[in-house]
Structures are given as structure tokens and as C-alpha cells.
Amino acid sequence: MDETSITLRVELRADTLLGPGQAALLQGIRETGSIAAAGRRMGMSYKRAWYLIDTLNGSFGEPVVTAAKGGRAGGGAQLTACGEAVLDGYRRMEAAAAAAIEGEVAALRALLKPDDA
């Protein structure tokens, strides 16, 4: 059976949205230690990735990502404790939303015509 997916966008306030793109970027930074690498994984330009991180950093009371400039030492980026909390909270909301709609999705799937029809 195909898996149903939902897209969660949370408007924390009028100028602060948190959605799948930001979450994927934060996840990528967590996993790669690099804003550039996280952006590349998503097919996103480095400029766009930096813009999203800068926007997130300005939206919360503390930065969500810290970065060191490249060069011989290599640079890199990492989620702060605030960034970890933002990403983990978003992932929990995604899971809760998916669980909340599971029964309704099953009911709608039952109404679909068969694939071979």
C-alpha cells in the first residue's frame, strides 16, 4: 500500500513559519555539519540555505545554527541546543499530525477506485 504523507507548516507568528524545507535543512546540518552540504542534498543553493538559516536564527531567542568560516580549519556548522529543540519539536508535531489523521486517511483510501480500474 502507498504511504500517505502530509506536509506540516507551522505559523509560529505572522513572520515566523516553520515547515518541511527548514526542518530538512536543519536535519541536513545535523547530519553533515555543513550548511553547504545540507543545501546541496536538497538541491538548494548555498545562498538560499544561508538565507533560511539567517531567518531562523533571527526568529528565535537564540540562534538555531552556529557556523565557522571555512579555510584551512575547514569551517562547518552545527545546531545549537535551540536548533535541536526546534527540529525535534517539529518532528514530534509531524508524527502527532500523522497519527491524528491515520483513521481519516484509511477511510478516504477505502473510497478510492482500484488501481487497475
pLDDT in tens, 16-70: 999 999 999 999 999 999 999 999 999 999 999 999 999 999 999 999 999 987 6
- From 19, 22, 23, 26, select the one nearest 78 (Cα to Cα): 26
Provide the pLDDT confidence category of residue 72 given band limits of 50, 70 and 90.
low
Q: Give the phi and the psi of residue 16 in degrees, each rounded to 5.
A: -135, 105
Provide the pLDDT confidence category of residue 115 given band limits of 50, 70 and 90.
confident
Q: Give the phi and the psi of residue 70 in degrees, each rounded to 5.
A: -70, -160
pTM for the whole structure: 0.86
User: 13-111, which class in CATH?
Assistant: mainly alpha
- Average pLDDT of the chain is 92
Start-to-end C-alpha separation, the chain: 16
